[in-house]
A and B are shown apart, each in its own frame.
Chain A
Amino acid sequence: MSPNAKESTFRDLFRTLTSWQFYTLIGSLIVNGSKLLWKFLSAKGRKSFKWSKAYAINFWSYLSQPENKFLKLTLGYCLVWLLFFWIWTSNWISWTWLHWTLLIVFLPSWYFSTVWLLRAFRNKWDLTATLRLGSLVLIPFFQMLTFILDGFTYEAAKIFGGTTFAIVSILWAAWFCWDMTMGSFRLRKNLTIGYTIVWCWLWYLWSTNTALFPELFLFLFFSLSIYLAYCWIDMARHWDDNIRLRAVASVCILPVWQWLVFTTHFLGWGEARAITAGGGLAAVFLVGLGWTVWYVDRRAWELQRARFYSAAEGKSDVDFTGPLSAMSGSAAILQGGDEIWDPFDLDARYYGNGEKKKLNQSLSTIAAYSILFFLLFLILTSLSGCMELYEMPAGGGEQKQVQQVVVQKVIKKKFVINPFSAVLFNPPPIDKVKLQLTELTKHAYTVGYGKGKGAGFSGGTNRGMVRFIRLEYNGGDWDQDFGVGADLNLLLEYHVRTSHKTAKKTESRKVMQLKNFPIGKSPPMVYMTGQGNISLSNKEVEILREYLIDKHGMIFADNGGSGRWHGQFFNVMKRLFPRVRPIKVPLDHEVHQIPYIIPFLPYVAPHGGKDAFGWVVDSRLVAYYHPGDIGDAWADGHAGVTPEISELCYQLGTNVIFYAHAEYNKWLDRQNKKK
């Protein structure tokens, strides 16, 4: 084939793909797909409802039998137990007396446990059932102990609760594996459905950074999915149906992919996480493509076979095309009549009349699948309602400067009595003399804002924590030294200095992703650095403005190494706030005073001058710009600056994070008052 001929073939192909027929094909695919899905879902839904209703009625009549009265009582108590367990773990109770009152609610759990254990022994339940019951009973047993411990010391309760929770989790994970190995198909199916629902929920919590469960627990839970996948593939191997085996294997890619991503994240392997995430996406795409092509090909073949047999039967409206045409097109085609619109049919009008119908169908399938996959990907990531939450750590405190802990020496009370004195003394008995040897004057407050138990923010939640989010932008090196240690070092220092709960890892978000945070649950501050260009689209500028104003956010910008970045950042701020002029942030501004007094602006290298700039909107800093690579001073080695400067840099970083969170909390308070 000459180069020209090749070019024209591609041109023709492109024309065919971009013609209106192509869009008709996609439309038909969507319509047909939706119809099928609706049909399937509605049938399943009706069936499930009927089944659930019948099951519920049966179960209730079972419980209503006189011999099951105790079971009914136990189940009722379980509901009450769960409710109060939730109240307790949500830290809603701040009064000590109320804590002990709740003991009355939890105490019966031991009674019910004992009764059920006795029943098991008396009625000689089989070993598995008894062991299962024993595992179940462990839950209220450990819970009660933890609850009692919590009444005395929170820290010890936390450790004990965590440990026992891990023990019970491992035990139930073992039961899960046992049932998946030994159980009937129905049990395995139901366990898989149940596990999948919980898996989805936990995956959602993890992906939205909601730290409801410790990461170790999540790791254990997600690891079960690998065993689950293994069990299903092992089961499918005995079905003698390759298609079903492949289908199971294909579905199993999802949990394996998720597990790999989670594990690499859990181990802190940032690059490996990115590779597994990307690789998994590619694998899902390819597997999906394979299934789509297989299904389209199968349907086309069925339709062709039907038409071929019709032709063989001598039907007048169908005719053979000949073996050569059948190789790349249809084996038999309709003569006259209506035009075919079914995309699975090779003779559909949009595949043309030539000899390359099959090629056209395959290419159209690939293109349509790719577009749909891409759209789905977009919907599930940036365009989706993938709502993310940022919650501050619960607690309270005052927005004041850190004071030194002073040990005040108190002079001992001395009773000096001369035993030879003529005067009669009447000294008090030595045991009754209260000697105040020393008196400690410590922090009269904790660093934080508002009223609450422990250091934190009154607008925060128990699962909330201070997170350090870096802003991703186009055009430059937003990821300068990202993940090396600077951001994390600061976060750790912040935790040490303020005792606020902080995230274990730092994060990054794209500008567009800031949209996913709802008002009132968005990050009070994002960090931005670099030394190249900053390129923001109008949409991104709009989102950033919304984040800073409507969501009360703040940018902490750090010039990572060039005068150009200084200009770039100032231009961005001019686009964001054309009516706000940058100001030199005074050294006696809150951000330079609380919790640490910053006597002068510390920097590593004065890339953008020696003054910190700020943009003030309604008496609040919406952006704080540090001109001299403060991030370098946070990193290991502190970029060679003196210990005094690196310490000041940590203090300044702490101040900025605290300022953003305190201002956010004040705003939340105002919003609540308005309501």
Chain B
Amino acid sequence: MKTFLYSIFIACLLCNIVTAQTKINEGLRNANDQLRFEVAKELRQTEKYQLVVAQRFYAKGDLKAAMAEFEKFLTLYERSDAAPYAQLMWSHCLVRQRKVNTAIRDGYQSVIDYWPESPEAALAAYLIGKSYKDIGEIKNSIKAFDNVREDYPDKQVRVLALWDMLDIANVHKDEKLRLKILKELTFEIKRTKANDYHLAKAAQDLAGYYFYRGDGAKGLEALQEQEGAHHMRRHGGLISHAHNIGKGAVGHLLKKKETVKGGEKLTDDLIKFINGRVPEDLEKGKAKEVARDLLGRIANLHATVKRDKEVLDTYERMGKMIGMDDDVLGKIASWHKAKKRRAEARKTYERFKNKVNGLANIAGMYREDKDPDGAKSIYGKIIQLDKENEAKWASESAGVYRECKKPEEAVQIYTYVASIDQENKGKWFEQVAGTWQEAGKYEKAIESWRNVITTTGKSGHYWAIGDCYVALKDIPKGIQSYRLSDNFPSAYFKMADLHRGQKQWNEALTLYNQARSYGDGHAQTALWRIGETYEKSSRREQAIKSYQSICKLYPKSSSASRAHAHLQNKYKINITLGGAKEE
């Protein structure tokens, strides 16, 4: 029994220690706010307890209490390893209370002055620069970041400082500073897991900088420097970035006469670079896919500088290397289409091994040409080849008629489709009704929507019937249909709006009041509209009461702000929304 009790006591103690350990950093999402593990594990229980108390206040947003607790920690455990952390957190509390200048002067600077060797000092040095940047003190900010670069060359804060400086250079269009920072980030800093993103992004930006000036070699050099970065590999790798950034730059350079040559040279550089990476042995692994991708990019670059022959040659080369499959043919056809050689494009689609896909593409071209009859004949051929999907291809054909504003033909086809596809009859009837409504034939549309409701049993379609009646200016029936749609509270608002339009004020007010029961958001809108309705019906007192109700019931909402302004402008009435409070 004794042993058992002793074991329980030991277990409780361990449990307590583990809980205390895990409670540190609880609720602190930002990495800068968290205490380093190596420090946390060395702390005494009392220190940990004090920190946890302070951190909890901080996480809860009770910043004044948190500051007091961090201060208490500093008073009690001045020599603790967590003291710089406590001082840093004290400064964070000030920043969150929008007392940035005090945080810089009395907080971050104190971390540097009292614990210059601690990792928190490096972070504090960076945060000084960041805080200056956030309050618009750009000169001080750059000065602080420069200090970070010099004092902590091997720390992550150097990268962060450079990153913020880059942002400043971008906003202020300081190209010289921008280039300097991008070079430093790309070439001078050793890549780690923490700075991987920053370095890869900097390399891309530097490449963009050079590409947009027509300097392909330097741009590629920058990208190659960070080729191994995880971020670069995850987003398509070196070639993908070189191609995408380079393509944008070529397009930009071609816009001006004086830079056209630079654009062409950049294209050649990029093509040469990509060509050098096309695998020779196509039997190895995914070599064929790689070759397809790279050659596709080369063709794309040729297309950007409008080299027609070279584009087609590249696709031919691709065909020879990996076989002339439908994908390659599709690319060739697309290029012909882009060059407005539609006959060649059609012929190329005809060469597709998958005949159905080839014909579908040809039908698509008729669709683009707004030739529904041509498209219909092609879809007819497809149906002969693919009888199983007759409904799909026929509906596509109907869609072309619908786009070309030929509702009768479209409806005829949809009706036929409904007859052969009994399972999805409702869906096709919806298309019929939609076609009539789109064409402005509301009587037929109403009839069709009723048919849909009978077939599917979905009352939501009454909304569409309501829309049709409103378009026909038959408001009572419209209101009735909206009510049947069961789409509340939207239906209440819609019906009330219609009643208001008919100057049936009391009906409108009743419906808006019914909408108020559907939560605060709807209640605010409903109250606003009630106010408007009273205004329109010349009931000034009630209108004022409605607007005042918004201010009283929902003082923090944007509706209250609007109502406040309206009351003041129109009625010269001031009403308080509670004003500000110390938070």
Contact = CB atoms under 8 A, between A and B. Distances in A.
B1 interface: no
B99 A588 contact: yes
Contact of A579 (B134, B173, B576, B579): B173
A315 to B, nearest CB: 71
Residue of A562, A588, A589, A610 with most chain B CB atoms under a 10 A cut-off: A588
A616 B135 CA distance: 8
Interface string B99-110: 111100000000
A561 B565 contact: yes
Interface string A569-593: 0000000000111011111110000
A456 B556 CA distance: 41
A619 interface: yes
Given A561-B561, A579-B173, A605 B102 contact: no
A588 B102 contact: yes
Interface in B536-583: 556, 558, 560-562, 564-565, 568-569, 574-577, 579-583
A610 B581 CA distance: 10
A616 B141 CA distance: 13
A427 to B, nearest CB: 51
A284 interface: no
A587 B97 contact: yes
Interface string A597-609: 0011111111100
Contact of B101 (A588, A611, A628, A632): A588
B101 A563 contact: no
B194 to A, nearest CB: 26
Residue of B136, B560, B575, B576 with most chain A CB atoms under a 10 A cut-off: B136
Contacts of A600: 580-583
Residue of A480, A579, A599, A601 with most chain B CB atoms under a 10 A cut-off: A579
A560 B579 CA distance: 14
Nearest to A633: B579
Contacts of A480: 569
Nearest to A562: B565
Nearest to A646: B579
A506 interface: no
B569 A603 contact: no
A283 interface: no
A480 B171 CA distance: 35
A641 B98 contact: no
Interface string B329-368: 0000000000000000000000000000000000000000
B558 A563 contact: yes
Bin chain B's interface residue count. 20 to 34
Nearest to A648: B580
B575 A640 contact: yes
B137 interface: yes
A390 interface: no
Contact of B577 (A579, A604, A614, A616): A604
Interface string A278-305: 0000000000000000000000000000
A531 B565 contact: yes
B561 A563 contact: yes
Contacts of B102: 588
A645 interface: yes
B261 interface: no
B176 to A, nearest CB: 15
B257 interface: no
A605 B561 contact: yes
Contacts of B565: 531, 560-562, 605, 607
Given A586-B99, A601-B580, A605-B564, A579 B172 contact: yes
A252 interface: no
A616 B561 contact: no
B167 to A, nearest CB: 9
Nearest to A580: B136
A605 B577 contact: yes
A308 interface: no
B574 A562 contact: no
B580 A586 contact: no
A139 B175 CA distance: 70
B392 interface: no
Nearest to A618: B139
Contact of B579 (A563, A599, A641): A641
11 contacts: A561-B561, A580-B136, A587-B97, A588-B101, A600-B583, A604-B579, A605-B560, A605-B565, A616-B137, A640-B575, A648-B580
Interface of A: 480, 531, 560-563, 579-581, 583-589, 599-607, 610-611, 614-616, 618-619, 628-629, 632-633, 635, 637-642, 645, 648
Given A584-B134, A601-B580, A614-B136, 10 more contacts: A562-B561, A579-B172, A586-B99, A587-B98, A588-B99, A605-B564, A610-B580, A632-B568, A640-B576, A645-B580
